[in-house]
Amino acid sequence: MKRPRNLRKKLLLITFGLLFGLLMSELFLRVAGYSYPLFYTTDYYRGFALQPGVAGHYQREGEADVRINSDGLRGSKPSGLCWSANFRSATPFPAKRSR
């Protein structure tokens, strides 16, 4: 009859040890100043997209401070009529030249 009680104590001790280890790791990373911001989110049409309003220090390919504006683009939001009046299109092939 002692087995279930012993097993319960061991499982509780293992759970407590794992939670304590995760808490100490999180505390150490915060004190050390390490951050890993998630700049991307899932998108129905493109698969993934930049998440609007996110800012952080990017360290995967070099180091840079990155800010995503409310439109989901890097950098500050363009102002004036120039942004809304122009139509931009990106094509995978260069335009054909007329001869």
Q: 57 lies in a domain? A: yes
| Structural domain includes residue 56 | yes
| CA angle 85–87–90, rounded 5-degree value | 155
Model-level pTM?
0.48
8-43, pLDDT tens digit by residue?
Answer: 999 999 999 999 999 999 999 889 877 777 888 888
> What CA–CA distance (Å, rounded) separates 37 from 60?
11
pLDDT per position as a tens digit, 43-75:
888 888 888 888 888 877 888 888 888 888 887
Asked, for residue 47, whether it belongs to a domain, the answer is: yes
Residue 21 lies in a domain: no
Q: Is residue 49 part of a domain?
A: yes
Residue 85's pLDDT is: 57
The confidence score (pLDDT) of residue 66 equals 86
CA 87 from chain center: how many Å? Answer: 29
Q: Give the domain extent around 46.
A: 37-73
CA–CA separation, 82 vs 54, rounded Å?
25
Please check whether residue 10 lies inside any domain of the structure.
Answer: no
* Residue 18 forms part of a structural domain: no
> Considering its fold, how many domains does the chain have in total?
1
